[in-house]
């Protein structure tokens, strides 16, 4: 396991390095010169040239990349061109917000998805199965944006149960924090719940027809114990894999959800940075996302191995 | 292809039907809200926090480098200027004691600075501070104010409360420029302390002082203890919350999460104005939107004009036909619920520099068809219209497409991301583009640089001596003379049709009904110095 982890970490560093080149070139391939964007409505060539010089955009690309890499290894992510704040400070403010949203959305997804998926499989072909599958289809089809607006209109404007938007840090006021995160977490979690529900249902159906379940039943174990302990535990490997694979969808979902609910998270930062051609911020968010992916994949693999001893034995 | 055209035609039918249904009359909402903004003078109580929904995150809060409209909204309440505008867009002194005194045939401007003023960091605001600010605006390499103060060659401190500006040429828009970011005086102590990072810690003279900023989320200001007119300021705090989506901004206003929402979507104004717990204040009107036709911009606005190989560029009569095929009133009703000001001039409707006798040509389909025929080109004439990808702009594009089609044009609407589209405009990589201008109080800011030879915003590539000579209108201070000169320029613009002006936008400020004392003028910038919650 230790050697396996080391190998994976070495590969991860190479991936991050390759990603940094791709991100660097990708950002510069974006149409629209950031210096022109920053120079405003009446740009003079001199002002544009000064802005380029200030951000080192007048240097050849390889030099720019090496500068970027040099700063990166020292932990300097640069300064946001838009509001002149240090990128590391902006990220430090934004990442916990998105992580909180992601964790809450995942909780919603796991609770709802696994529960509904298990019920649907256990009650296959019955009313509960059709209802759960119907909700799953709805959850997959409804766009986040529309669902978010609908949630705001219903719960904030009509019923006035919850605030429409905004974010209060948990450390500042836990009550207000949760109050403001309920709707975004539900909206973001709905899509994942649907995916998880379908995966859980399918995995559970496979498990319920497996020999070991038949053996468990023949031993006289109760139905909840057979479903909840034996079948579900084996189905969870699929669910965990899906959770890892859904990270990308979670981030893209967070982009939309954070826009609607005005949550100052990572997703909103990404959109704003791209729209304003804020190179240092775009580079930082993409790189952090890549690192996030690698870490999550690593964790998924470890969890996968922990859940299924055969994988460990296989030395995968 | 045929199917696509059919679908496009069917999509536009409901829009045109709507237009026909309300043709000839103002929509009820439009009628109520096209007047100037009322100032609600109800007495307000002391204290409270007002949360304002902004449509964008401002750029750096540094008056020397800032460029966004929303930054001006924040500045208006913490960084006062030498001059301001009143509800009639008249320039009035703010930190200056009087309007500039011109001498030496308009080559020197003497400005008296008010006495006893303090910056929000407690330091003294005087003539030296004005000089420090203006010199920074003129010399900082990344300054966006250089071109605005282009005529200023040096700034001299006459005494503690008087500065003298030396100009390279007589420059009538000077006071108007000093009524915007170029006239925002920054604390020299803060400039020394923060230098280029002043925007992260702005300190000026204003009713509110800067507290904090969470990038992309909110900006917090608090009542300033040093403000010269602090007795009038009632609010404890002013919080700007960034809510980019107009629907979400409206929903936040309705739910009470914010008490003020700027730039409401015209589609929401009707519903919100019917809500008794809310009020709608109309403002704005100095910005404009139009269609720019590439006539000679081959390699970019900063390069020499050349020959553009499109029917519209090559045939002036086709440009005229295209302009005549459009009905500005219908566009206003269909796309903006009749809430904007249809117009064919870059100058706002209340500008004293407009020729009162000038009128806009009406839609004339017969003449447009004749002109297309006269051009002798194959019909339908292909036209590519680039615009920003958002539902309202795309709807505008569809209406233009449907109208122009009747005159013999096949308009292909190409939506794109804003910065990319603007980039194409500057680079000359477009046929026609739907773009606008945020507008200036002085006409020089609406004309010079946008249509004159070599202007950085002259996307069309216009290069015409009559238009270029019009810039000299900025050298005279006589309003009647300037009016006559600008009228000639605009008449010539109509002949060349490099820009087909369509309308002036109006901004709608939604507020909770219990909020009073906001001043919201034609410049579209809400001023909260006297605002608060009604008693």
pLDDT at B502: 98
Total domains present in chain B: 2
pLDDT digits (tens, 9 = 90+) for B494-504: 999 999 999 99
Give the whole-angstrom CA distance, residue A18 versus residue A283: 13
**pLDDT exceeds cutoff 90 at A203:** no
Instruction: Give A196's pLDDT tier (boundaries 50, 70, 90).
Output: confident
B11, part of any domain:
no
Q: Which residue of A has its CA nearest to B247?
A: A149
pLDDT digits (tens, 9 = 90+) for A93-130: 888 898 899 889 989 988 998 888 888 888 888 888 88
Question: Crossing angle of helices A127-141/A174-208, nearest 10°?
Answer: 120
pLDDT at B6: 44
Report the percentage of chain B scoring pLDDT > 70.
93
Strands B381-388, B432-437: pairing kind: parallel
Give the whole-angstrom CA distance, residue A224 versus residue A232: 10
Tell me the whole-structure pTM to 2 decimals.
0.85
List the single residue in A31, A54, A272 with the smallest CB-CB distance to B57.
Answer: A272
pLDDT at B64: 96
pLDDT digits (tens, 9 = 90+) for A146-168: 899 899 999 998 998 999 888 88
Instruction: Give A227's pLDDT tier (boundaries 50, 70, 90).
Output: confident
pLDDT digits (tens, 9 = 90+) for A43-74: 788 888 888 898 888 999 999 999 988 888 88
Give the whole-angstrom CA distance, residue A243 versus residue A227: 21
Note whether B332 and B503 are within 8 A (CB). Answer: yes
| φ, ψ dihedrals at B153, nearest 5° | -100, -35
**pLDDT exceeds cutoff 50 at B353:** yes
A91-276, CATH topology level:
MetI-like fold (1.10.3720)
Question: Can you tell me the mean pLDDT for B432-444?
Answer: 93
Residues B310 and B182 in one domain: no
List the single residue in B214, B247, B449 with the smallest CB-CB distance to A264.
Answer: B214
Strands B101-103, B108-112: pairing kind: antiparallel
Residues near A4 by Cβ (< 8 Å), separated by ≥ 6? A315
Which token pair is B448?
A: 């010079």
Question: Can you tell me the mean pLDDT for A285-305?
Answer: 79
| φ, ψ dihedrals at A239, nearest 5° | -65, -45
**pLDDT exceeds cutoff 90 at A195:** no
Residues B471 and B336 in one domain: yes
Q: DSSP H helical segments within B408-478, as ranges? A: 418-427, 444-447, 465-470
Residues B436 and B326 in one domain: yes
CATH number, domain at B105? 3.90.76.10
pLDDT at B305: 95
Instruction: Give B24's pLDDT tier (boundaries 50, 70, 90).
Output: very low
B449 touches A: beta carbon within 8 Å: yes
**Where do we find the tokens 């201070």?**
B477
B39, part of any domain:
no
Number of other residues whose CB lies within 10 A of the CB of residue B10: 9
**pLDDT exceeds cutoff 60 at A315:** no
Note whether B393 and B434 are within 8 A (CB). Answer: yes
Note whether B433 and B387 are within 8 A (CB). Answer: yes
Inspect the interface and report whether the beta carbons of B255 and A50 lie closer than 8 Å: no
Instruction: Give B232's pLDDT tier (boundaries 50, 70, 90).
Output: very high
**pLDDT exceeds cutoff 50 at B388:** yes
pLDDT digits (tens, 9 = 90+) for A72-96: 888 888 888 888 888 998 999 888 8
Report the percentage of chain A scoring pLDDT > 90.
15
Per-residue HEC secondary structure of B315-367 comes to: CHHHHHHHHHCCCHHHHHHHHHCCCCEECCCCCCCCCCCCCCCCCCCCCCHHH
Question: Can you tell me the mean pLDDT for B145-150?
Answer: 88
Between positions 495 and 534 of B, the ones with CB within 8 A of A are: none
Best of B177, B255, B286 to substitute, by most chain A Cβ atoms within 10 angstroms, is B255
Q: Of B180 and A191, which is predicted with more confidence?
A: B180
Q: Which residue of A has its CA nearest to B427?
A: A32
Residues B182 and B317 in one domain: no
Secondary structure element (H or E) that encloses residue B218, with its range = strand B218-223
Inspect the interface and report whether the beta carbons of A42 and B251 lie closer than 8 Å: no
Note whether B94 and B75 are within 8 A (CB). Answer: no
How far off is chain B from A2, nearest CA to CA, in Å? 41
pLDDT at B420: 86
Residues near B393 by Cβ (< 8 Å), separated by ≥ 6? B387, B415, B434
List the single residue in A32, A84, A166 with the smallest CB-CB distance to B60.
Answer: A84
B256, part of any domain:
no
pLDDT digits (tens, 9 = 90+) for B94-138: 999 999 999 988 899 999 999 999 999 999 999 999 999 999 999
DSSP category for residue A213? H
pLDDT at B13: 46
Which token pair is B310?
A: 């499109």
Domain residue ranges of chain A, discontinuous segments joined by +: 15-74, 91-276
Question: Can you tell me the mean pLDDT for B371-386?
Answer: 96
pLDDT digits (tens, 9 = 90+) for A15-25: 888 988 988 89
For residue B520, CA distances in Å to B39, B51, B241, B263, B517 come to: 8, 16, 19, 12, 10
Q: Say which range, A129-138, A148-157, B203-212, B446-455, has the weakest mean pLDDT.
A: A129-138
Q: Which of A41, A20, A202, A60 has its CA nearest to residue B449?
A: A41
Give me the half-sphere count of Cα atoms (radius 13 Å) on the Cβ side of residue A77.
22
Q: Which of A161, A108, A153 has its CA nearest to residue A261?
A: A153
pLDDT at B9: 46
Dihedral of CA B399/B403/B406/B410: which sign? Answer: negative
pLDDT at A42: 75
Q: Which domain holds residue B396?
A: 287-506
Task: Calculate the average pLDDT of chain A.
Answer: 83
Instruction: Give A248's pLDDT tier (boundaries 50, 70, 90).
Output: low
DSSP category for residue B114? P
Compute and round to an integer the Cα radius of gyration of chain A.
Answer: 24
B409-416: strand order across its sheet: B341-342, B499-504, B288-293, B432-437, B381-388, B409-416
Best of A41, A259, A265 to substitute, by most chain B Cβ atoms within 10 angstroms, is A41
Strands B237-242, B218-223: pairing kind: antiparallel
CATH number, domain at B438? 3.10.105.10
pLDDT at B202: 97
DSSP category for residue B183? G
For residue B296, CA distances in Å to B167, B459, B494, B512 come to: 33, 9, 16, 49
Q: Which of B310, B249, B301, B141 has its CA nearest to residue B510?
A: B249
pLDDT at A29: 87
Q: Of B488 and A300, which is predicted with more confidence?
A: B488
Task: Calculate the average pLDDT of chain B.
Answer: 90
What's CA B23's distance to the chain center, in Å? 28
Give the whole-angstrom CA distance, residue A94 versus residue A88: 10
Inspect the interface and report whether the beta carbons of B216 and A50 lie closer than 8 Å: no
């Amino acid at each position: 396991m230790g050697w396996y982890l080391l190998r994976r970490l070495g590969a991860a560093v190479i991936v991050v390095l390759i990603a940094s080149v791709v991100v660097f070139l990708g950002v510069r391939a974006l149409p629209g010169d950031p210096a022109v964007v920053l120079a405003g409505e009446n740009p003079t060539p001199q002002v544009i040239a000064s802005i380029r010089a200030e951000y080192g955009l007048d240097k050849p690309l390889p030099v720019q990349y090496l500068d970027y890499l040099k700063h990166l290894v020292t932990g300097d992510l640069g300064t946001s061109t838009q509001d002149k704040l240090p990128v590391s400070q902006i990220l430090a403010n934004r990442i916990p917000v998105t992580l909180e949203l992601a964790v809450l959305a995942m909780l919603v997804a796991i609770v709802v998805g696994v529960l509904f998926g298990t019920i649907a499989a256990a009650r296959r072909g019955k009313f509960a199965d059709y209802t759960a599958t119907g909700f799953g289809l709805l959850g997959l089809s409804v766009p986040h944006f529309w669902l978010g607006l609908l949630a705001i209109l219903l719960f904030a404007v009509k019923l006035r149960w919850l605030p429409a938007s905004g974010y209060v840090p948990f450390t500042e006021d836990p009550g207000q924090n949760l109050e403001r995160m309920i709707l975004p977490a539900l909206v973001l979690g709905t899509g994942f719940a649907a995916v998880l529900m379908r995966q859980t249902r399918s995995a559970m159906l496979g498990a319920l027809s497996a020999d070991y379940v038949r053996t468990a039943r023949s031993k006289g174990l109760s139905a909840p114990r057979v479903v909840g302990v034996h079948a579900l535990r084996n189905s969870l490997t699929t669910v965990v894999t899906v959770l890892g694979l859904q990270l990308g969808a979670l981030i893209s979902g967070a982009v939309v959800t954070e826009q609607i609910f005005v949550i100052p998270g990572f997703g909103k930062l990404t959109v704003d940075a791209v729209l304003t051609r804020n190179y240092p911020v775009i580079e930082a968010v993409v790189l952090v996302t890549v690192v996030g992916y690698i870490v999550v994949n690593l964790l998924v693999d470890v969890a996968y191995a922990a859940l299924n001893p055969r994988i460990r034995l296989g030395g995968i | 292809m045929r199917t696509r055209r059919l679908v496009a035609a069917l999509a536009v039918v409901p829009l045109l039907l709507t237009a026909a249904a309300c043709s000839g009359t103002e929509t009820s909402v439009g009628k109520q809200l096209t007047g100037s903004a009322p100032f609600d003078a109800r007495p307000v109580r002391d204290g409270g926090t007002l949360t304002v929904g902004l449509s964008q995150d401002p750029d750096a809060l540094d008056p020397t480098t800032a460029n966004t409209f929303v930054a001006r909204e924040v500045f208006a309440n913490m960084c006062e200027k030498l001059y301001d505008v009143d509800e009639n867009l008249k320039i009035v002194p703010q930190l200056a004691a009087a309007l500039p005194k011109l001498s030496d045939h308009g080559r020197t401007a003497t400005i008296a600075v008010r006495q006893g003023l303090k910056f929000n960091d407690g330091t003294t605001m005087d003539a030296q501070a004005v000089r420090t600010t203006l010199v920074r605006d003129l010399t900082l390499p990344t300054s966006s104010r250089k071109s605005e103060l282009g005529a200023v060659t040096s700034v001299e401190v006459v005494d503690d409360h008087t500065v003298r500006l030396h100009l390279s040429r007589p420059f009538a828009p000077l006071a108007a420029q000093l009524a915007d970011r170029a006239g925002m005086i920054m604390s020299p102590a803060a400039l020394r302390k923060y230098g280029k990072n002043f925007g992260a810690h702005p300190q000026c003279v204003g009713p509110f002082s800067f507290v904090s900023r969470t990038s992309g989320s909110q900006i917090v200001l608090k009542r300033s203890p040093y403000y010269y007119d602090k007795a009038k300021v009632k609010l404890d705090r002013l919080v700007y919350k960034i809510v980019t989506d107009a629907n979400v901004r409206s929903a936040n206003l309705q739910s009470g999460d914010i008490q003020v929402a700027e730039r409401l979507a015209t589609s929401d104004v009707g519903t919100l104005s019917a809500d008794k717990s809310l009020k709608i204040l109309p403002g704005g009107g100095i910005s404009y939107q139009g269609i720019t036709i590439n006539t000679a911009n081959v390699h970019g606005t900063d390069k020499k004009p050349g020959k553009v190989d499109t029917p519209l560029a090559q045939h002036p009569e086709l440009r005229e036909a295209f302009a005549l095929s459009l009905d500005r009133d219908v566009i206003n009703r269909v796309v903006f619920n009749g809430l904007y000001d249809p117009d064919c001039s870059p100058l706002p409707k209340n500008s004293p520099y407009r020729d009162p006798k000038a009128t806009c040509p009406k839609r004339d389909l017969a003449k447009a068809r004749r002109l297309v025929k006269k051009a002798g080109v194959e019909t339908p004439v292909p036209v590519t219209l680039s615009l920003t990808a958002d539902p309202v702009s795309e709807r505008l594009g569809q209406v233009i497409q449907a109208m122009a089609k009747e005159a013999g044009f096949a308009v292909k609407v190409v939506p794109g991301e804003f910065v990319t589209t603007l980039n194409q405009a500057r680079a000359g990589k477009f046929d026609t583009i739907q773009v606008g201008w945020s507008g200036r109080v002085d006409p020089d800011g609406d004309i010079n640089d946008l249509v004159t030879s070599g202007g950085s915003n002259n996307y069309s590539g216009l290069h015409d001596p009559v238009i270029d000579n019009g810039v000299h209108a900025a050298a005279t201070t006589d309003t009647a003379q300037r009016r006559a000169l600008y009228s000639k320029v605009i008449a010539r613009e109509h002949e060349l049709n490099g820009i087909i002006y369509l309308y002036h936008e109006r901004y709608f400020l939604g507020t909770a009904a219990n909020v009073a004392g906001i001043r919201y003028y034609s410049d579209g910038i809400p001023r909260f110095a006297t605002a608060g919650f009604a008693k």
